[in-house]
Amino acid sequence: MVTAKPLPEELSKLPFTIYQARALGVAPNRLRAKDLMGAGRLIRVHTGREPSIVERARVLCAATPDAWVSHETAGIFFDLGLPPWLGQEPLIHLSKPHGLPRVRRAGVIGHRVRVIPGEVMEIDGIRVSCPARTWLDLAHKLPLRYLVAMGDQLIRTPRPELEFRSLPFAYKEGLRLLIRQHPNMKGVEKARLALDEMRVGSDSLPETFLRLALLDARLPEPELQLRLNPGDPRSPAADLGYRRHRIAVQYDGAHHRTREQQSRDNRRDEFFINAGWSYFKPNADDLADGFQDLIARIKRAYSRHDAGSLSAR
């Protein structure tokens, strides 16, 4: 029986390659102990422990030096927002340069892509397609409205206190250049259409879907991150609305469930309502029906304001 001698600390919890183990002086017979099991060519994982997607991506990149995390897996890494039918399989997407053979190993979907400098970055030792390139890689698979929504996530202004970054993942001009650099890439025309529809200020996919639904309903383009007092950066802000018609809309998403966030939300709601605004708070049920009922109510408020303005003249 093989004795399970303690592994070096670097390998004690995470998946690892045989080469990593050898470099740390682990004997070959230790890799055959019952507390380890194979997880594809040259890879060992700890028996009974399911590695996370990041851990699997890390060891697969280590086992495949020319490859990097891409496509749906990169979208998950950056939390760009994938449709429910993408990114659910337990497989890791890995890309290689077009001149090399695609990755062929268990647990991997391999891609061969044309890549230019700057499109692959490193995060905590893992090579991964940058967010902008991930968006373009997924363009052919995503419906247009999802591509717009993911694009909005790229160009939105982050909240440093929550996301540990102060700059957007990308800017529209940079995305426009990226599209020009890959004129023959599958999905590039859809990406160009999406770029025209993208706006800074939609902080979640439902906010983008709501904005697009308003436009589809032939309402004007809404103002995003609408502040009650536009001259005061500390003034309460709603997700979107129509200032001239005193209409504000705040999507009530899952992150609004904490007690602290609900207190902030209640104060913001009171400010808008006390100022005489028509104030709407759609949620996941409204999203599920395409915001149809919400849009009907917004249109009525829009018409009431127009009628009141005419009667006051």
Domain with residue 244: its CATH number is 3.40.960.10
Percent of the chain with pLDDT over 90: 63
* Overall size of the chain counted in residues: 313
pLDDT exceeds cutoff 70 at 11: yes
Tell whether 120 and 92 lie within a shared domain.
Answer: yes
Q: Structural domain of residue 186, as residue ranges?
A: 59-197
Residue 310 has pLDDT above 90, yes or no: no
177 and 248 part of one domain: no
163 or 278, which is more confident: 278
80 and 181 share one domain: yes
Number of structural domains found in the chain: 3
* 31 burial type by CB count under 10 A (0-12 exposed, 13-18 middle, 19+ buried): middle
Alpha-carbon distance of 80 to 198, in angstroms, equals 14
Report pLDDT for 10: 83
Whether residues 229 and 106 share a domain: the answer is no
Q: Quick one: which of 208, 197, 198, 186 has its CA closest to 138?
A: 186
Q: Are residues 142 and 15 in the same domain?
A: no
Residue 32 is predicted with a pLDDT of: 85
Same domain (yes/no): 37, 63: no
Provide the pLDDT confidence category of residue 311 given band limits of 50, 70 and 90.
low
Sheet holding 16-17, edge to edge: 16-17, 43-46, 36-38
Least confident window among 140-144, 180-184, 216-220, 251-255: 251-255
Angle at CA 7, nearest 5°, toward 4 and 11? 130
Whole-number mean pLDDT of the chain?
A: 90
Judging by DSSP bridges, how do beta strands 92-97 and 108-113 pair with one another?
parallel
pLDDT digits (tens, 9 = 90+) for 98-110: 999 999 988 899 9
Q: What is the pLDDT of residues 264-296, one digit of tens each?
A: 888 899 999 999 999 999 999 999 999 999 999
Name the domain boundary from 177, 197, 217. Answer: 197
pLDDT confidence band for 1 (50 / 70 / 90): very low
In this structure, the answer to whether residues 193 and 142 fall within a common structural domain is yes
Are 93 and 181 found together in one domain?
yes
- Kindly report, residue by residue over 130-161, the tens digit of the pLDDT: 999 999 999 999 999 999 999 999 999 998 87
